[in-house]
Amino acid sequence: MTALSTPEHVTPHGRTLKVVRLQFINTQTFIWVPLMVLGGAWLVTLLVYLILAGAGVDGPKYGGGSQAPMWYFAVVGAYAMTLTFPFSQAMSLTRREFFLGSMIAAAVSALGLSAVFVAIGLFEQATGGYGINGYFAYLDWVWEAGALGAGFTFFVLTMLFFTVGFWFATIYKRFGPAMLTAAILASVLLLVGIAALITWQQAWPEVGAWIVESGAVGLSLWGLLLGAVLAAGSYATLRRMPA
């Protein structure tokens, strides 16, 4: 831990990078486990496609397994908060430096996963879905803006899940399990309320048309805005949390 000590003459920029290094000390959290989740989901999906192809199913086969590492990043966000924050305080790092460094570490990991996701999608394009018309990463709607658009969508959603996990873990550390449960319940009720309102207004056709018109990149831009709002809320909670 002496290699990560933070003498007073280190600039705020350098101290933030020390948080990035601190997060990556345990490479399993940010690197190996996300890659294992992605690789495991890909392998299972491919095996299912091979079984279907062997049974004579020739049509296009699509799966949602590529979402698996996105969901896992909610766990990564919780780990980044609960396991690393005490060490950052022992190193006399500010909450702002810890927050920015954690977000940068998550962005680096999400960017790497996005590159792997795009590489798999390009390979599926080139081989016609592994020669069996099966697609794990290449989904027409996500790739309609090309490889960069697909990578951007994957990156934004991954960061969004990370931010949610980070904020919930911050609420847990700040207020305890009862408030965390209340926050999760309130979030679920909010989503149910939105769905109920759309249903009451019979607006699902308009919502569906808006989703199709916006496309994956357009929705990702909205996701980027939502992620910024959640990140701001997470930082506001972190600032008031005791060491």
On the question of pLDDT at 83 being above 90, the answer is no
Q: How far apart are CA 105 and CA 47, in angstroms?
A: 33
Q: How far apart are CA 211 and CA 230, in angstroms?
A: 22
CB neighbourhood size of 106 (10 A) = 24
Contacts with 93 (C-beta within 8 Å, 6 or more apart), sequence order: 6, 15, 18, 19, 101
Residues, the chain, total? 243
Q: How far apart are CA 209 and CA 226, in angstroms?
A: 21
What is the residue type of 40? Answer: G
Would you tell me the crossing angle of helices 146-175 and 68-82 to the nearest 10 degrees? Answer: 40
The confidence score (pLDDT) of residue 7 equals 47
CB neighbourhood size of 62 (10 A) = 17
pTM reported for the whole predicted model: 0.89
152-177: pLDDT as tens digits: 999 999 999 999 999 999 999 889 99
Report the range of poorest mean pLDDT among 82-91, 113-122, 166-175, 185-194.
82-91
Percent of the chain with pLDDT over 70: 94
